[in-house]
């Protein structure tokens, strides 16, 4: 998944999944996304196969590690299987909309193997803050260089 796409959310809490993202989900053999609360004020969406692989990796981690438990509380307990309907819409449960502060304007952000769903204005604020903070940008660049990117 790559790219950013803006879509609106209707009064029932439905939004269109970007067609390029739907193509990927379909190619992976499904029509469902697992939608969950992110560590940031956003939602995270995984194709079912990717979510199951994530849960398997999570199950292999130490079950009493405090950070693992916290991740399970936020990510796994908030997860909902959502069907993409025939016209490409996804119903976002009210609890998830509340977590991400989703109202009308949404932004889908491709993140490689998963997707983030943001309130458009919140994503733009976050992006502006990062891009305007030279020290933070340089810190990110140093960290990426340490990781070999």
Q: Are 134 and 21 in contact (CB under 8 A)?
A: no
Q: Are 101 and 122 in contact (CB under 8 A)?
A: yes
Model pLDDT for residues 130-140, shown as the tens digit of each residue = 889 899 889 99
Model pLDDT for residues 27-72, shown as the tens digit of each residue = 887 889 999 998 899 999 999 999 999 999 999 999 999 999 999 9
Does residue 3 carry a pLDDT above 90?
A: yes
pTM, two decimals, is 0.88
Among 17, 109, 101, CA closest to 7: 17
Does residue 149 carry a pLDDT above 90?
A: no
Model pLDDT for residues 71-85, shown as the tens digit of each residue = 999 899 999 999 999
């Amino acid at each position: 998944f790559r790219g950013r796409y803006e879509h609106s959310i209707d009064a029932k809490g439905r939004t269109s999944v970007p067609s390029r993202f739907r193509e990927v989900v379909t190619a992976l053999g499904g029509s469902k996304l697992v939608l969950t609360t992110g560590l940031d004020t956003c939602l995270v969406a995984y194709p079912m196969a990717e979510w199951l692989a994530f849960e398997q990796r999570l199950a292999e981690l130490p079950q009493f590690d405090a950070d693992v438990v916290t991740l399970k509380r936020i990510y796994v307990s908030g997860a909902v299987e959502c069907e993409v309907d025939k016209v490409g819409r996804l119903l976002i449960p009210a609890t998830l909309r509340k977590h991400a502060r989703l109202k009308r304007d949404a932004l889908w952000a491709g993140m490689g193997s998963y997707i983030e769903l943001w309130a458009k204005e919140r994503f733009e604020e976050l992006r502006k803050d990062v891009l305007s903070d030279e020290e933070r940008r340089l810190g990110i660049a140093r960290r990426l260089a340490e990781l070999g990117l």
